[in-house]
Amino acid sequence: MKLYMATDMEGASGVTQELMTFADQPRYQEGRRALTGDINAAVRGARAGGATEIIVGDGHGACGGYNVIFEELEDGAQYHLGSPGQCYADGCDESTDLAFLIAYHAKAGSWPAILDHTQSSRAIVDLRANGEVLGELGWTAAVCGHFGVPVGLVTGDDATCAEARELLGEVVTAQVKRARSRTSAICLAPGDARRLIEEKAREAVERAGEFTPFVIEAPITVRVQYLRTEMAQGWRRRKDVEMIDARTVEYEAANAFEAMQIYAGYA
């Protein structure tokens, strides 16, 4: 059984502040350790549940997409480190059986939710598919769904887990913290959080046949709203997009994979 594991950092155990998620900040090394610990727990659980091939993608934008501590990573998986890759969600394709979203965060505007944002905490107000606001959780799930791959596990804070259940249905979740504001949470102790992730990862693999891929009806109209007008400047050079207003762009895509290929600059 082949598993693709997409990862971020804001939803990792114990992470509550941008001081831990940006590479130039003083507590970034703590964020790296937290993320690495959560990934390792998910890998152990997935292997215990029967996963035979595991590809883990480091999807956090800091440090060029290389945020984990390599020498501390769990054996029994392959790790996609650094960016750019060849495509969005590189490592997930038609041969994949199941996906995990590890250390994810809630979409922009969620409250209370740890470090809520969508794609860019500095630039993006929201990102829509056919009029529906989706966060990174939803877009990653949709790209996996394009390949027929369901999401079986989501880990993060309570807002993220609630978003996952609302969007994906009976997905397994591992809630490692309870948000009190954007930068404050009641967190499980490290050992407790990793045991929970490991247990839920095993459960998700064992229940792999019960999950349904998340598919957005095609074609997809993508609308991106930026915080400020200059942040949309790059889109103005493209002939295949429409500027709805000075800070909002809209374009058409055949499917979720193409939608994110365009957004991420691969197409």
Three-state SS at 184: strand
Q: Count of CB atoms within 10 A of residue 215's CB?
A: 15
Which residues share a beta bridge with 154?
101, 173
pTM of the complete model: 0.97
Q: Which amino acid would we find at residue 30?
A: E
Q: 205 and 240 share a domain?
A: no
pLDDT tens, per residue, the chain with 267 residues: 999 999 999 999 999 999 999 999 999 999 999 999 999 999 999 999 999 999 999 999 999 999 999 999 999 999 999 999 999 999 999 999 999 999 999 999 999 999 999 999 999 999 999 999 999 999 999 999 999 999 999 999 999 999 999 999 999 999 999 999 999 999 999 999 999 999 999 999 999 999 999 999 999 999 999 999 999 999 999 999 999 999 999 999 999 999 999 999 998
Pairing outcome for strands 124-129 and 98-102: unpaired
Any domain includes 27: yes
> Domain check: are 64 and 140 in the same one?
yes
CA distance 124 to 132: 15
Do residues 60 and 161 both lie within one domain?
yes
Residue 13 contacts residue 193 (beta carbons within 8 Å): yes
Q: What SS3 state is found at 200?
A: helix
Would 91 be classed as within a structural domain? yes
pLDDT at residue 267 in the model: 83
For residues 100 and 228, membership in a common domain is answered with no
Query: How far is Cα 263 from Cα 267, in angstroms, rounded to an integer?
Result: 8
- At 141, the amino acid letter reads A
Q: Is residue 215 part of a domain?
A: no
Q: Is the dihedral of CA 101, 104, 106, 108 positive or negative?
A: negative
- Please report, for the domain that includes residue 72, its CATH number: 3.40.50.10780
Domain shared by 252 and 149, yes or no:
no
* Largest CA-CA distance found in the chain, in angstroms, rounded: 52
As given in the structure block, the two tokens for residue 179 are 């948000």
| Residue 239 within any structural domain of the chain | yes
Same domain, 62 and 188: yes
Verify that 77 and 102 share a domain, yes or no. Answer: yes
Tell me, yes or no, whether 8 lies in a domain.
yes
Looking at residue 253, its pLDDT comes to 98
Is there a domain that residue 129 lies in? no
* The total number of structural domains that make up the chain: 2
Report helix, strand or coil for 170: coil
| 159 C-beta neighbours (distance < 10 Å), count | 23
Domain shared by 41 and 114, yes or no? yes
Whether 9 is covered by a domain: the verdict is yes
Q: Are residues 138 and 247 in the same domain?
A: no
**What is the domain range of residue 243?**
220-263
Kindly state whether residues 193 and 224 are assigned to the same domain. no
According to the model, what pLDDT value does residue 105 have?
98
Q: Is 78 in the same domain as 113?
A: yes
Q: Name the residue with tokens 């992730």.
A: 197
Does one domain contain both 71 and 174? yes
